Amino acid sequence: MRLIQNMCTIAEYPAAGSAAAAECCLGPAGRRLVKIAVVGASGVGKTALVVRFLTKRFIGDYERNAGNLYTRQVQVEGETLAIQVQDTPGIQAHENGLSCNEQLNRCIRWADAVVIVFSITDHKSYELIGQLHQHVQQLHLGTRLPVVLVANKADLLHIKQVDPQLGLQLASMLGCSFYEVSVSENYNGVYNAFHVLCKEVRHKQQPSGTPEKRRTSLIPRPKSPNMQDLKRRFKQALSAKVRTVTSV
Ligand SMILES: Nc1nc2c(ncn2[C@@H]2O[C@H](COP(=O)(O)OP(=O)(O)OP(=O)(O)O)[C@@H](O)[C@H]2O)c(=O)[nH]1
């Protein structure tokens, strides 16, 4: 694993699906680029999750983040992908909806996939998932954006406010994958959550004319006989019959 780039601002990046974004679908060394945004309430462990994924390390304290972008390479199904991970500032819920500023919206639009995080020790962070998921989908109208729901801080069971089972139910209702993780104690869950997203994006990005598809479309179809052919065959059959009759 290698950190290639660190701390760019999301304003520099075009929205996914735009012409400019299509041009930058390739990362360093011409690798396929997968852009992932990590969103959720404040204090749920977004920065910890991103840093754990990038460095395999858990560092106890982080500065409140203002939206850093990191890049690393991963192997997915035999292909090396360049992944950009965008950490985002914490979201708060108000009576009349979520507090998503333009910076956050730009980041969500930019992303090919989103990790939505809540903490099992913070019921409020769980409560805003439904609205947040809806908001994410609205910013990607017309496409099915790959999303993974992550329930963090699984090591803090003694102060849990949300049963992880609820997270699983919510994820299946929203149609996304679910991972219960402890960023502080377990790297595998974190890795798997990002890995499954990369796979989904990779399958989505696969151009329609993939080698497999092209191969199937090249299989020669049986020719249906045209009228000329039918006439010729009919004549042949007729003359054979005539020959048989005359020889009797
Ligand atoms: N016990 C435990 N603590 C965690 C875990 N993940 C994160 N934390 C702690 O939770 C606190 C908040 O983590 P951050 O990564 O800063 O959370 P954030 O969501 O980025 O917060 P904002 O930047 O305010 O949006 C820190 O003190 C972390 O050390 C975990 O899995 N277990």
- CB-ligand 1 contact for 48 (6 Å cutoff): yes
From residue 173, alpha-carbon distances to 42, 129, 170, 176, 194 in Å are: 24, 12, 5, 8, 20
Residue of the CA atom closest to atom 29 of ligand 1: 60
Dist. CA 98–CA 117, nearest whole Å: 15
Tokens for 47, please give them. 């920065």
pLDDT value at 216 more than 50: no
Say yes or no to pLDDT of 169 above 50. Answer: yes
Measured CA angle at 128 (ends 169, 111), to 5 deg? 90
Query: What pLDDT, in 10s, does the model give residues 108-135?
Result: 999 999 999 999 999 999 999 999 999 9
The values of phi and psi at residue 94, to 5°, are -115, 175
Measured distance CA(129)–CA(116) in Å, rounded: 7
* Cβ of residue 121 lying under 6 Å from some atom of ligand 1: no
**Residue 171 pLDDT greater than 60, yes or no:** yes
Assess whether the C-beta atom of 90 lies below 6 angstroms from ligand 1.
yes
245 pLDDT band, cuts 50/70/90, is: very low
**Tens digit of each residue's pLDDT (9 = 90 or more) over 37-82:** 999 999 999 999 999 998 999 977 766 665 678 888 989 999 999 9
- Residue 213: pLDDT above 90? no
Does 186 contact ligand 1 (Cβ within 6 A)?
no
Instruction: Convert 149-193 into a string of H (helix), E (strand) and C (coil).
Output: EEEECCCCHHHCCCCHHHHHHHHHHHCCEEEECCCCCCHHHHHHH
Q: Which amino acid is at 64?
A: R
218 versus 32: the higher-pLDDT residue is 32
- CA 135–ligand 1 middle distance (angstroms): 23
Which comes out higher in pLDDT, residue 25 or 194?
194
- Helices then strands, counting H and E runs in the chain, come out as 9, 9
248 pLDDT exceeds 70? no
66 Cβ below 6 A of ligand 1: no
Q: Which pLDDT value is given to residue 205?
A: 81
Per-residue pLDDT of 84-109, as tens digits, reads 999 998 998 777 777 778 889 999 99
184 pocket-lining for ligand 1 (C-beta < 6 Å): yes
The interface pTM score, or ipTM, of the predicted complex is: 0.99
pLDDT value at 210 more than 60: no
Distance CA 132, CA 116 (A): 8
Evaluate whether 51 touches 62 at the Cβ level (below 8 Å). Answer: yes
Determine which residue's CA is closest to atom 28 belonging to ligand 1: 60
Hunting for tokens 């996914």 — which residue is that?
16
Of residues 33 and 21, which shows the higher confidence score?
A: 33
Nearest CA to ligand 1 atom 9: 45
CB of 67 sitting under 6 A from ligand 1: no
pTM: 0.77
What span, in angstroms and rounded, lies between the C-alpha atoms of 12 and 5? 14
- Three-class secondary structure of residue 115 per DSSP: strand
pLDDT-based confidence at 204, cuts 50/70/90? confident
Q: Tokens at residue 128, please?
A: 């805003």
Q: Which two tokens stand for residue 62?
A: 């982080």
The pLDDT of residue 176 is: 95
pLDDT confidence of 144, banded at 50, 70, 90? Answer: confident
Structural domains of the chain, ranges and CATH numbers in brackets? 26-205 (3.40.50.300)
Higher-confidence position of 190 and 243: 190
For the chain, the average pLDDT equals 79
pLDDT for the residue numbered 88:
92
Lowest mean pLDDT among 10-24, 53-67, 127-141, 173-187: 10-24
Shortest CA distance to 45 belongs to which of 100, 112, 120?
A: 120
Element (H, E) at 235: helix 227-247
Element (H, E) at 199: helix 187-205
